[in-house]
Homo-oligomer: A and B are copies of this chain.
Amino acid sequence: MMDRNDLPTSEVDVLIVGAGPAGLMSNLWLSVFKGLRVRIIDKRTSDVVAGQADGLVGRTQEVFHSFGFEDRILKIAQPMAEFSFWEPNDSGRLHRSSRTPDGVPNVSRFQGSVLHQGHIEKFLKDAARDRGGQEVEHGIQPDLLEIDESKVDEVDSYPITVRLRRLSKEESTPSQFGHAVANGLYRSANFMTAKEEDRAIEKSAEPQDHEVIKCKYLLGCDGAHSWIRRQMGAQMEGDQTDFVWGVLDIIPQTDFPDIRSRCAIQSLNHGSLMVVPRENELVRLYIQLEEFERDAYGRVDRRRISPAQILQAAQKIIAPYTLEYSHCDWFTAYQIGQRVSTSYAKSDRIFILGDACHTHSPKAGQGMNVSLMDAYNLGWKIAHVLRGWAGRSILSTYESERRPVAQELIRFDQKWSALFSGQLKKIERAADGTELEEFKQTFENAKLFVAGITVQYGPSQLVGQILDHKNVHFNPPSVGMGNQDLAKGIPIGMRFASHRVLNQADMRSWHLQDTLPSDGLWRLLVFAGRMTDPTQRPRVLQLAHSLSSPSSILNTYTSGGRSLFEVITVHSGPRIDVELSDFPPPLREKYEYNKIFVDDHSYSEPFGNAYENYGVDAVRGCLVLVRPDQYVSWIGNLEDMAGLEAFCSGFLQK
């Protein structure tokens, strides 16, 4: 198909197509595993400077922290503290009917926040650059893709061939559709067909604009119209609603009192509005648009959408309060389409991530977060295979772990969006405010889900235990869970939650999650229990002895002489009755001071009460194996070396 002889050809391990959040997170994650050959291309010439996504849930910020740049988020993002509900009172006048915390306090140490996507993309790029990672190449698009199926199972082969085309400046600069204000109409999947988006590709290009890349893995992070998804032959399954929403990023001038709080405003006759305060003085408004004619396919003519028209709709909803703006930073409009791709991968060589595999309403602030977590799930697995640490079979867990998350998100979004879009308005409105009550109940139930911390991956090579219900962290099972019983607050398949512990060496208070940085290592957390108990100390010493054996997982799975595992120990105190020297190698090597932690009171920070929160027996402790992405793989007793080794041998390679 490709005239390869005529074109410059090169090889890389991974080609990433699309430098939005999913692409940039993939690039960052791969940069952690030094020496991989990666390229990342994007068809746009420039960075995102306004609009697009902005929500950052607690879990995403935990991951940013694990890469070391959450401090930059905290400095400028707007945390969401409270959510207010506004509806007409008995006389039909808009009033604040209730307020609720925005999120569940303290399930994550990071509060849900809002920050313009451009900042986040910059931080992801900087973090990759700090690790010697790849720079984004702009204005480049793939236009031909081949996969040699006969080679996909050969680990070191390059079965994928992609032809790339360098775009002209006109092609790669998105049209503003005649508007002076930056907008996202060109990105709104339902206002634009894939055909329209592909138009640039169809233009004939001179041969000198082309090159050929042969790669081992191809990541399609190329958005809702994903060209790579279409080459894979996957379909987006799901529905589209009739509701059209406008989005305005403005510096508002209003006498509405809660303009700096997240609000849901339901009007009597003009639909609803959501207020999301942003960094600086910006506010994002999601506004239901009611009065648009549709074309034969039910699509709204995007040329009829302008900031003035969206503002007018907002004014009707927020009346009698006034609303104008001094500056409009960005606007867009969209129809809610709730769809998930039929597959996430082809031959476990080509993968799609982010908007390329799921689309939904932006109003729950999930899109960018789920996209980032797709990439955070996949990146380390590909790196493990490329480095020869694990077999290719682990790659199938990307789809098995992430597609259910998207499906659950769609289910959530359907309920959330329907309520928001006032679908219930058609039903007789109950005098007692049933509608808003249902909305509020949905909201309360959604808070944990929305924080991103309820995701639970099912059993696989990488996750050792079946749990048959959700939210086990908050409703711990009491019986019959095997190893899970050793640590009921550390649900297998969920992210390792953080509680405060003290560093035995210097008495500093740490979040235990800070011992799990995104550096590619697996962690064996040793809950050593009570070292002063005469029956427990020998168990810990025996564990250290077993882990020191040449056949232990620490010494079996290594790379360049370094173990793929780090051991972190947390004992249950009291701190002052225990010394660092009580912990022999490999729990603590000579001159190591950040390996031994204790569940004890701090002078200045709140007590973490870690053993109780993790549900671990304070005397006997347990072992917890945590993946490079902070998800819990396996839990066992201090003696259960055989179980641990068997588990690891299921996917790791010597």
Q: A468 contacts the other chain (Cβ, under 8 Å)?
A: no
Q: Which residues of B contact A75 (CB under 8 A)?
A: 71
Closest to A576 in B: B99
> By the criterion CB–CB under 8 Å, are A261 and B507 in contact?
yes
* 8 Å CB interface, A587-615 against B: 590-591, 593, 602-604
Closest to A508 in B: B81
> Which of A116-124, A252-260, A619-627 lines the interface with chain B?
A252-260
> By the criterion CB–CB under 8 Å, are B261 and A506 in contact?
yes
CA distance A252 to B593 in the complex (A): 12
Can you pick out 22 interface pairs between chain A and chain B where the beta carbons lie within 8 Å of each other?
Answer: A71-B71, A71-B74, A79-B508, A81-B506, A81-B508, A81-B602, A81-B603, A82-B507, A105-B603, A111-B604, A252-B591, A253-B590, A255-B581, A257-B580, A259-B505, A259-B593, A260-B503, A260-B505, A260-B506, A260-B593, A261-B506, A281-B593
Q: Which of B79, B82, B579, B590 contacts A257 (CB 8 A)?
A: B579
Q: Which residues of B contact A365 (CB under 8 A)?
A: none
> By the criterion CB–CB under 8 Å, are A603 and B260 in contact?
no
CA distance A503 to B260 in the complex (A): 10
> By the criterion CB–CB under 8 Å, are A581 and B81 in contact?
no
Q: A509 contacts the other chain (Cβ, under 8 Å)?
A: yes
A628 to chain B, nearest CB (A): 23
Q: Which residues of B contact A591 (CB under 8 A)?
A: 252-254
Q: A106 contacts the other chain (Cβ, under 8 Å)?
A: yes
CA distance A281 to B505 in the complex (A): 12
A305 to chain B, nearest CB (A): 27
Q: Which residues of B contact A105 (CB under 8 A)?
A: 603-604
Q: A458 contacts the other chain (Cβ, under 8 Å)?
A: no
* 8 Å CB interface, A274-329 against B: 277, 281
> By the criterion CB–CB under 8 Å, are B604 and A81 in contact?
yes
> By the criterion CB–CB under 8 Å, are A82 and B506 in contact?
yes
Q: A101 contacts the other chain (Cβ, under 8 Å)?
A: yes
Question: Digit string of A79-106 for contact with B (CB within 8 Å is 1, else 0)?
Answer: 1011000000000000000010100011
Closest to A251 in B: B591
Q: Which residues of B contact A580 (CB under 8 A)?
A: 257
Q: Which of B74, B78, B508, B604 contacts A106 (CB 8 A)?
A: B604
* 8 Å CB interface, A501-525 against B: 503, 505-509
Q: Which residues of B contact A593 (CB under 8 A)?
A: 259-260, 281
Q: Which 4 residue pairs spanning A and B have beta carbons closest together?
A: A81-B507, A260-B506, A82-B507, A101-B603
A256 to chain B, nearest CB (A): 10
Interface residues on A, range: 35 or more
CA distance A101 to B593 in the complex (A): 19
A: residues with CB less than 8 A from B are 71, 74-75, 78-79, 81-82, 99, 101, 105-106, 111, 252-255, 257, 259-261, 277, 281, 503, 505-509, 576, 579-581, 590-591, 593, 602-604
Q: Which residues of B contact A509 (CB under 8 A)?
A: 81
Interface-centre pick from A71, A75, A106, A507 (highest chain B CB count, 10 A): A507
Given contacts A253-B590, A259-B505, 5 further A-B contacts (CB under 8 A): A71-B74, A81-B506, A81-B604, A99-B576, A252-B591
CA distance A254 to B581 in the complex (A): 12
CA distance A579 to B74 in the complex (A): 27
A559 to chain B, nearest CB (A): 23
A578 to chain B, nearest CB (A): 10
Q: Which residues of B contact A81 (CB under 8 A)?
A: 506-509, 602-604
Q: Which residues of B contact A505 (CB under 8 A)?
A: 259-261
> By the criterion CB–CB under 8 Å, are B101 and A506 in contact?
no
Q: Which residues of B contact A579 (CB under 8 A)?
A: 257
Closest to A580 in B: B257
CA distance A71 to B72 in the complex (A): 9
CA distance A257 to B604 in the complex (A): 22
Closest to A581 in B: B257
CA distance A506 to B261 in the complex (A): 5
CA distance A507 to B101 in the complex (A): 9
Closest to A109 in B: B604
CA distance A581 to B604 in the complex (A): 38
Q: Which residues of B contact A581 (CB under 8 A)?
A: 255, 257
> By the criterion CB–CB under 8 Å, are A506 and B74 in contact?
no
Closest to A591 in B: B253
A409 to chain B, nearest CB (A): 25
Q: Which residues of B contact A281 (CB under 8 A)?
A: 593
> By the criterion CB–CB under 8 Å, are A101 and B604 in contact?
yes
A292 to chain B, nearest CB (A): 31
A106 to chain B, nearest CB (A): 7
A105 to chain B, nearest CB (A): 4
CA distance A576 to B96 in the complex (A): 11
CA distance A590 to B326 in the complex (A): 13
CA distance A57 to B261 in the complex (A): 36
A582 to chain B, nearest CB (A): 10
Closest to A606 in B: B606
Q: Which residues of B contact A79 (CB under 8 A)?
A: 508
A70 to chain B, nearest CB (A): 10
Q: Which residues of B contact A602 (CB under 8 A)?
A: 81
A274 to chain B, nearest CB (A): 15
Closest to A277 in B: B506
A276 to chain B, nearest CB (A): 11
CA distance A81 to B506 in the complex (A): 7
A99 to chain B, nearest CB (A): 7
Interface-centre pick from A253, A260, A602 (highest chain B CB count, 10 A): A260
CA distance A593 to B257 in the complex (A): 10
